[in-house]
Amino acid sequence: MSQRTISLLEPTESVDLLVIAGEHSGDEHGARLIKKLLQKQPDLNVYAVGGRHLVAAGANQIFDLTLHSVIGIVEVLKNYGFYKELFKKLIVWIEKVQPKNILFIDYPGFNLRLAEQLYKRKLSRKGGGHIAVFYYISPQIWAWKANRRFKIAKWIDALGTLFPFEVGSYSDTDLDVSFVGHPFVEENFQFPVVYDPDGPILLLPGSRLGPVCRIFPVLMEAFGKYAERNSSIRAAVIYPSVEVKELLEAMLVDYPNVRDRVDLVSNDQQAKGRAALMSSGTISLVCALAGLPGAIVYRLNPLSYLFGKVVVKVPFIGIENILLKRAVHPEFIQNIDLEALTEELRDSVENAHRIQAARDSSLELSKILSPRSDQDSEDWLRTRLVK
């Protein structure tokens, strides 16, 4: 990546809460939490290292880290200098501003290192300072590096989880852990995708430029093969940012035979589809909850993939598959069998039993992800904030 200037906004008022979200999904989850929190405490001064969704929710942006999000050990190493500089500047900012509370949202590679430094520099309450530190969306200690739970308990005051089974992962620590429900099952949640038997195929390659480069060609090749058999089928590609849209436009030039059957659609508007080929992550859970049949396609840098095979110990990568302990969305990882993927797409569109199974799975997931008490995410945080 080219050289990037890092400049953090200097606040003109005391900071009640600093939110740090480094990825698009964390930015969106955090925005829903902060919006509800500010409805109950409108005088709260919230600042964020986050993206446009947190800004729209009412946070003052000091830096947009979502624009620089990468995944995989190789990609992180390539951008090490940038993250090191941002990290140092953010520590200086926190020492100077002294926010009363900090909320980390997911993004453990960056956020846990920052939590450690707040502890070592005696800025956080756990380290002997005055800043209360909270974590929303648990690092996936159930998938890899389970021993992180002891460090998290040492550095963090309280943790709010999206999945009920995660609470038990911390049972041998003294950390205050609560299952606060998943925002996707809240009554007023607007699904970005919905099932429509007459809609197009949804192609969902992700929100980061690197993964989009690796995954989108596979999605297009599978769609192209299926389109040869179905002359009326169309596809819609969902993009989260101008940068991703421009990349998709450039890549579509390589598919002249089906380019006129593919529409690019902003994720600001709800997309209707009959099936989906999707990247793993937040979007695959959204599709599962929306009752969309389809398949997960995931490709990493080869070195990152080999590293992941060694350290990740779960039977699936799609959280919907993990929660239901079966392949709601079959997974195609790294070396993709294009013929098999195309057949999965055909089955997702044409098999009535497959379509009904997707609807049934949606109901199961909604039940699992609904909170088991009256305390939701904003109340979990609001009742713990330092005034």
> Residue 307 pLDDT > 70, yes or no?
no
Residue the block writes with tokens 């713990």 = 384
DSSP 17-80: EEEEE-SHHHHHHHHHHHHHHHHH-TT--EEEES-HHHHHHTPEEEE-GGGG---SHHHHHHTH
Is the separation of the CB atoms in 222 and 296 below 8 Å? Answer: no
Is the separation of the CB atoms in 76 and 83 below 8 Å? Answer: yes
Q: According to the model, what pLDDT value does residue 268 have?
A: 86
Q: How many CB atoms are located within 10 Å of the residue 241 CB?
A: 18
Quickly state the pLDDT bin for 144 (edges 50, 70, 90): confident
Interval 206-212 mean pLDDT: 87
Q: According to the model, what pLDDT value does residue 376 have?
A: 86
Q: According to the model, what pLDDT value does residue 203 have?
A: 98
Q: According to the model, what pLDDT value does residue 306 have?
A: 56
Q: According to the model, what pLDDT value does residue 119 have?
A: 98
| H or E stretch covering 365 | helix 352-369
- Percentage of residues of the chain with pLDDT beyond 70: 91
Q: What is d(CA 33, CA 37) in angstroms, rounded to the nearest whole number?
A: 6
Residue with more model confidence, 12 or 278? 278
Q: According to the model, what pLDDT value does residue 78 have?
A: 59
pLDDT in tens, 92-108: 999 999 999 999 999 99
> Residue 1 pLDDT > 50, yes or no?
no
Interval 232-240 mean pLDDT: 95
Q: According to the model, what pLDDT value does residue 74 have?
A: 45
pLDDT in tens, 19-53: 999 888 899 999 999 999 999 999 999 999 999 99
Is the CA virtual torsion 319, 323, 327, 329 positive or negative? negative
> Residue 282 pLDDT > 90, yes or no?
no
Q: According to the model, what pLDDT value does residue 70 have?
A: 47
Residue with more model confidence, 320 or 2? 320
pLDDT in tens, 156-188: 999 999 999 999 999 999 999 999 999 899 888
Q: According to the model, what pLDDT value does residue 205 have?
A: 95
Interval 280-303 mean pLDDT: 89
> Residue 202 pLDDT > 70, yes or no?
yes
Write out the two tokens for 306: 């080999």
For residue 196, give the DSSP letter.
-
> Residue 374 pLDDT > 80, yes or no?
no
Mean pLDDT, the chain, rounded, equals: 91
Quickly state the pLDDT bin for 335 (edges 50, 70, 90): confident
pTM summary value:
0.82
Residue with more model confidence, 12 or 54? 54
Is the CA virtual torsion 149, 154, 155, 161 positive or negative? positive
Quickly state the pLDDT bin for 248 (edges 50, 70, 90): very high
CA distances from 234 to 203, 272, 315 (A): 10, 12, 33
> Residue 3 pLDDT > 80, yes or no?
no
Q: According to the model, what pLDDT value does residue 186 have?
A: 87
